[in-house]
Structures are given as C-alpha cells and as structure tokens.
Structure 1
Amino acid sequence: MSKHDADAIVVGGGLAGIAAAIAVATSGLRTIHLAPAGPPDRRTSALMMPSVDYLRSAGLIGEPAELGHALTQIRIIDATNRLIRAPETLFDAQEAGLPAFGWNFANTHLMESFHEVATTLPNLETRPIGATELAENTLTLGDGSRLSAPLIVGADGKKSLVRAAAGISARERQFDQAALVCDLDLGRSIGGASIEFHYPQGPFTLVPAGGNRANLVWIDDRAALETAKAGGEATLLAAFTDKSQRLFGKIALAGPAFVFPLSTLSVDQAGTNSVVLVGEAAHAFPPIGAQGLNLGLRDVADLAAALAAVDRTADDWAGRVSADYSARRAGDLARTGGMVDTLFRSLLAEMLPAQALRAGGLWALKLAPALRRQAFAVGMGSRA
C-alpha cells in the first residue's frame, strides 16, 4: 500500500489551479486539490483560440458562445502627443482565415464551468483549505494536518509557498503603473473589436462583452488611478469619456471599479524534484497582449503531456515529470516573457529611438500582410 495520501496534490484555487487539478486527475492520478475559498474574481480573460481549443478538447467548456464573446478585431490607436506616432492599425481575424482571434470570458463563468467538470471526476478530491508548509513532498495544512504525494503542483500565485519550498528562485519587478478594471455600458457598441488607446503611461483598452457592454482595462500611474477612483462615479466617467476620445457616446458604469498593482515575475525553471509550477506561481505579467491565463493554460497542457509521456511504474516517475515539464515550458516562458516585457516598455518609452522603432513596427504590421499573419500567430500563442 502506498505511504502517500494521493498520487498528486495541487495547491491553489484559481483558474489555473483547478484546470491543473482536472488535467492531473484526468491523467489517472489520485489527486487532492487544496483550494481555499477566496473572493469572486470579477475580472475577465481574453483567451486566444489555441487556449479556447484546449479548453474544449479538455472538456472544460462547451461552446464558447455559451460563456463568452468573440474577439474578431483588434484596433490600436496611438493617443500620445509624441513627436513620432504610430499609425492607427486594425487587425481582423478574417485576414488570418479565422472566425475570431479568441473569446472574452468572465472569470466567474469559467470557474463555474471548471467546478462542474471537477465534480464529475471520482479520483479528484477538493478541500477548501490552504497549505502553510511544504517539506519533502509533505504539505502541512492550515488546520495542522498533513498530506503527502509523489507529485506536488504549485498553482498558488505570485507569493507561491510551493515555489519557495522547492527552492526555485523568482525574479519580480514592481511597476509604478497599476490597472483599473471595471465593466462599462457604452452608448455605441464596439461589436467584436478590442480597442486599445495607447497613452504615455499605458493603454486604455475596451474589450467586447456583448451588446453595448465592454470590459475596461486602464493602465496608468497607480496614483492617478487611485485618485480617479476616489473621486467617485462622476470623476471616473469623465475620465473614461476623455480617454475613449468620445467615440462611444454616453458611458455608464456597470459595476464597481478595482485597481490592481502591476508586476512581472519569472522563474529559472518551472519544475524540479517532483514539484511543478503553473500559472502565476511560475509567471506574471501586466495585462498586455492577453497572455496571463493563456500562458497558464499552456502550462496545464504541457503538464498533461508530461504526465502522458512518463512511465508511472518507475520509482522516480514524479521527478521525471517535473524535469520533462520544465523542459517543455522553458522556451514558451522565455519567448512570452520577453515579448510582453518589450511591448510594455515600448508603450512607456519616451526616448525618440524607441518611439521610432515602435511606430515603424506598427507601420510594418499595417502594410505587410505576411508580417501581420506572423504577428497573429505569436500573439495567439501558436507553437509553430
């Protein structure tokens, strides 16, 4: 009889955590998911088509139209007063031969769908409790009890206990900028277009949420966002109207506004010694280029692939999984991290050479169809 309580323990109750728990259990492992209750996640996630295809193939969602809203266009508007400005650029999914670049989902809807799937798996046990310590594949829980498993999956966020206990170093950088998110009702619909107004301190982005509803992600200096939020609804709406250049008629709040600090986090390796990291335990970015949960779902897909490839009769199967998983994720994490960091820095750059490079890049994308198609593939997370 095994001395362990399960074959795998997944720590972390967010979307990446529950997706990982489902993937591990679906692979046939006896799985315990430690998912302490948290406040509802009122944010949305713009998932590109490879991520949506994975969710469907894994049975985590049905038809995307039942939960989300199609993203058919991306419109970029340089709203700065810089000497060198980029052209307005429109990317259309039809040009890439696609019905949509992806779908915009409310995180609460995704969570509900994932939980429904989890309840159908007899070898997946979910416990609403967190971990306080990890040592030699044994977790101490918040109530003082202990659980052990050959494989530990850390999906416990930027301050990951699992990552620290495994000795995986992380590099983190805090930004002066923050993100304000909320839902808006617009006087004129944006259809299926995600519209990005690029300002000196970051983009002001409207993402389609059905009808005249849009999800706003506004990146700016944190002090400016906090001041706008503290000013009340009238101050916020005046700022939204100004930032959107009065293109969408009367704007109304459709829910509360939240301000989140921005940072980046990266690791040298995503797995070691029978421990693997997924989601924000392994990477975190500003909400630029729609990479956050997309990258987390690619983590989960590669974890499933590593589990499918291993010989589980071997005594060190969990160690082999962590090594294989780390190798599978290395290239994607490096590429995506570099892309998002470069893009974010280019949006904030004040130096003329950087402005010229960014404007020239957008002109090239605007005028060269082949280059646009390559950009589509990179932005959507294509592995080709």
Structure 2
Amino acid sequence: MSAYDADAIIVGGGLVGVATAIAVAKAGLKTIHLAPTGAPDRRTSALMMPSVDYLIAAGLIDDPADIGHPLTQIRIIDATGRLIRAPEALFDAQEAGLSAFGWNFANARLLERFHSVAATLDGLETRNMGATAFAAGDVGGTLTLADGSTLSAPLIIGADGKSSLVRSAAGFPIHEHQFEQAALVCDLDLGRPIGGTSIEFHYPDGPFTLVPAGDARANLVWIDERATLEAARSSGPEALAKLFAEKSQRLFGSIQLVTPTHVFPLSTLSVSKPGRQGVVLVGEAAHAFPPIGAQGLNLGLRDVADLAGALQGVDRTQRDWADKASESYASLRAGDLARTGTMVDALFRSLLADMLPAQGLRAGGLWALRLLPALRKQAFTIGMGNR
C-alpha cells in the first residue's frame, strides 16, 4: 500500500491553481487541491485566443461570450511628449484572420466557472485550507497544513503565487527585480464606449490602458511611479475622474469610477527551471511580470497545458514517474518562458527609456509594425502566445 495520500497535491487557490487541479485530475491522477478562500479578485484578465481555445478544449468554459468581452483592436498612442515619438498605431484582429485577438474576462467570473467544473471531478478533492510548511523528499514531498496535519505525494505543484512556499522550501533559486513603478487598477464608465478596442496611452513612466469590459465600461490599468499613483488615489473619486479624462486625452467624454482603486507594486520574477524531483511550479510561482502585453494568466495557462502534456506522456507504472514528469514539464516550458520573459522585460523597459537611441528604436519599431504587414503578422503571433 502506498504511503502517499494522493498522486498529486496542488497548493494555491487562484485561477492557475484551480485550472491545474482540473488538468491533473483529468489526467487520471488522484488529486488533492489545497485552496484556501481568499479575498474577492476584482481584477480582469485579457486572454489571447490560444488561451481561450485552451479553456474551451479543456472544458473550463463553453462560449467566451457568456462571461467575457472580445478584444478586436489594439490602439497605441504615444503621449510621452519626447523628442522622438512613435506614430499612433492601430492593430485589427481581422488582419490576422481572427474575429478577435482575445477576450477580457472578470477574474471572479472565471474562478466561479472553474470551481463549478472542479466540483464535477471524482478524482479531485478540494480543501479550504493552506499549507504552512513543505519538506521536499527525493521525489515530491510532505506538506504541513494549517491545522497541523500533513499530506504527502510524489508530485507537488506550487501554484501559490510570487511568495510561493513550495518554491522557497524546495530551494528553487529565483531572479527578481523590483521596479519603482506600480499599477493602479479600477473599472470606469465612459461617456463614449470604446467598443472592442484596447487603448494604450504611453506616458514616460508607463502606459495608461483602457480595456473593453462591455457596454460603456472599461478596465483601467495605469502604470506609473508608486508615489504618483498613491497621490492620485488619495485625491478622491472626483479629482481622479478628471485626471483620468486628461490622461485619456478627453477622447471618451465624461468618466466615472465604478469600483475602488487598487495599487499593486510591480516586479519581475523567474526561475531558471520550473520543475525537478517531482516538484513543479506554475503561474506566478514560476514567473511574474508587469501587466504589459497581456502575458500573465496567458503564460500560466500555457504552464497548465504543458503540465497536462507531460503527465499524458509519462508511464505512471514506473516508480520514478513523478520525477520524469517534472523534468519533462521543465523541458516543455523552457523555450516559452525564456521568449516571453525577454519580450515583456524589453517592452516594459523600452516604455520607460529616456535615452534618445532607445526612443528612436521604439518609434522606429512602431513605424515598421505599422508599414510592414509581414512584421505585423509576426508580432501578432508572438504577442498572442502562438506556439
């Protein structure tokens, strides 16, 4: 009789954690998901079409129109006032032969949908409890729970965010960089709707982005120095609405705040190898980026898809199956994580660059994207996460 409590244990109750638990259980593993209830997630996620296609294929959603809003265009406006400025650029999904680049979903609605799917799986046990310690073994390891009990499995999956207990206790080295910038997020009602167009105003300290959220509503993601954002936030809703109208160049009429504002610090985090010895890291436990290029949850879902592929390709009658699965997962993820990390870091730093050569390169790049269809098509492929 096995000394293990399950084949796999997933730690972390966010979107990637629940998606992982579902994928692992559907792969035929006896699965325990440690998912303590957290505060409501009022953020949204822009998922590109490959991610949406995965959600549909994995049975996590049915019709994206039931819970999301299509992103049909991306409009970029250089509002930096720098000596060398980029041209305004408009990218249309129809150029890529698509009805939409992706869909914008409310995280809370996605999570509700994922939970409803998880509840139908016999091989998945979900516990409303977190882990307080992890002791890695030769393969997998043992988790100590909040009530003092322990659970062990040959495959341990950390989906527990930037401050991952699993990653730290298993000794995965990280590369991390803290930015001076932070992000302010909230929902707005606009006097003139933006339809399906995501609009990015690029300012010297970061973009001011409006993402379609249906009807006249838009999700705001404003990146700037944290002190600037906190000062704006403390000025009150009326002053904030006026500031938002100015930063959006008064293109959308009156603006009203419909949710509280939240400010999040920005950083990058990565591991050189997201799996070894039966321990696997997914989502922000393995990688975290500023909200640029809509890569966060998209990358996490690609983690889930590759983990499912690694599990399908391993012979679980072998004693070392979990070790082989974690190594296979790390190999599958290596290229995507390296490409995406480099792309997002370069894009974010280019937005903040003050040096004239960097400004010129960025402006020239947007001119090239605007004028060269082949280059624009390649940019669509990279940005959407096509593999």
Fold shared, TM-score > 0.5 on shorter chain: yes
Partner of 2:4: 4
Instruction: Give the alignment partner of residue 368 of structure 1, picking from 352, 368, 372.
Output: 372
Q: 5 Å matches for 1:1-384? A: 1-135=1-135, 136=137, 137-383=141-387
User: Which segments of structure 1 move beyond 3 Å, counting only runs of 4 or more?
Assistant: none
CA contact (8 A) 1:15 1:111 kept: yes
SS of residue paired to 2:83: coil
CA contact (8 A) 1:84 1:359 kept: yes
TM-score, scaled relative to structure 2: 0.98
Distance in 2 separating the partners of 1:244 and 1:82: 17
Distance in 1 separating the partners of 2:111 and 2:362: 37
CA contact (8 A) 1:179 1:262 kept: yes
Shift of 1:18: 0.4
Distance in 2 separating the partners of 1:287 and 1:175: 12
Shift of 1:171: 1.1
SS of residue paired to 2:330: helix
Specify every segment of 5 or more residues in structure 2 that has no aligned partner in the other structure, as ranges: none
Residue type at the aligned position of 2:7:
D
RMSD over equivalenced CA pairs, Å: 0.5
SS of residue paired to 2:210: strand
Distance in 1 separating the partners of 2:134 and 2:112: 29
1:35-84 Cα deviation digits (max 9, x unpaired): 01110110000000000000000000010000100000000000011000
Shift of 1:377: 0.3
Distance in 2 separating the partners of 1:164 and 1:108: 28
Distance in 1 separating the partners of 2:267 and 2:298: 17
Shift of 1:259: 0.6
Distance in 1 separating the partners of 2:379 and 2:233: 35
Shift of 1:253: 0.7
1:249-279 Cα deviation digits (max 9, x unpaired): 0000111111111000010101011000000
CA contact (8 A) 1:166 1:272 kept: no
SS of residue paired to 2:42: coil
SS of residue paired to 1:105: strand
SS of residue paired to 2:126: strand
1:321-354 Cα deviation digits (max 9, x unpaired): 0000000001100100000000000000000000
Shift of 1:202: 0.2
Q: How many residues align?
A: 383
Residue type at the aligned position of 1:260:
F
Shift of 1:165: 1.6
SS of residue paired to 2:209: strand
1:308-332 Cα deviation digits (max 9, x unpaired): 0000000000000000000000110
Shift of 1:301: 0.1
Distance in 1 separating the partners of 2:287 and 2:210: 24
Identity of counterpart residues, as a percentage? 74
SS of residue paired to 1:140: strand
Distance in 2 separating the partners of 1:118 and 1:96: 34
SS of residue paired to 1:36: coil
Distance in 2 separating the partners of 1:109 and 1:255: 16
Distance in 1 separating the partners of 2:369 and 2:251: 24
Distance in 1 separating the partners of 2:218 and 2:190: 7
Distance in 2 separating the partners of 1:257 and 1:168: 34
Distance in 1 separating the partners of 2:185 and 2:163: 22
SS of residue paired to 2:110: helix
SS of residue paired to 1:289: coil
